[in-house]
């Protein structure tokens, strides 16, 4: 059995490498935590106000002075650091549903992100390195 394999699956680590964030330098981690500490009270306020739709969340975070991430036709970053989007859909019963709420990704440095969400049941803010394929957003489950 491979160390860390949840169910003893061979190559678990290799198959799930895309779900592990990259490392952050200590300085970048400190900067990301400072931004997380700015974002957390805003999400708490929105959660208490029952405003977790992406538009309300985006508006509140832009008011902190963040700029929305802009990308070019080839995916190149043109400026800004903030991404706010709907929650990922998931399969329930016999169809996909998209839960109410918003996901937040703030690109603090090339190696540091603030990743957060706010939804009906709760909210969470954390710092992490970027994910290999999805930047500041944790990738949905794969194969």
Q: Judge whether residue 64 has pLDDT over 90.
A: yes
Q: Which of 19-28, 29-38, 82-91, 107-116 has the lowest mean pLDDT?
A: 19-28
Backbone φ and ψ of 19, nearest 5° = -95, 0
Q: Which two tokens stand for residue 6?
A: 């949840």
Q: Judge whether residue 76 has pLDDT over 90.
A: no
- pTM comes to 0.79
User: Where do the structural domains in the chain lie, given as residue ranges?
Assistant: 25-128
Name residue, tokens 């400190």: 30
Q: How many DSSP H helices and E strands does the chain contain?
A: 3, 8
């Amino acid at each position: 059995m491979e160390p860390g394999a949840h169910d003893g699956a061979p190559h678990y680590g290799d198959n799930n490498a895309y779900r592990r964030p990259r490392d952050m330098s200590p300085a970048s981690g400190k900067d990301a935590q400072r931004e997380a500490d700015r974002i957390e009270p805003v999400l708490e306020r929105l959660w208490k106000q029952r405003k977790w739709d992406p538009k309300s969340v985006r508006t509140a975070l832009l008011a902190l002075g963040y700029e929305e991430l802009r990308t070019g036709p080839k995916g190149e970053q043109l400026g800004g650091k903030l991404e706010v989007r709907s929650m990922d859909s998931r399969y329930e019963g016999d169809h996909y549903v998209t839960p109410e709420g918003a996901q937040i990704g703030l690109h603090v440095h090339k190696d540091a992100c603030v990743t957060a969400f706010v939804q009906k049941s709760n909210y969470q803010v954390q710092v992490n390195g970027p994910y290999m394929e999805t930047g500041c957003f944790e990738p949905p489950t794969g194969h």
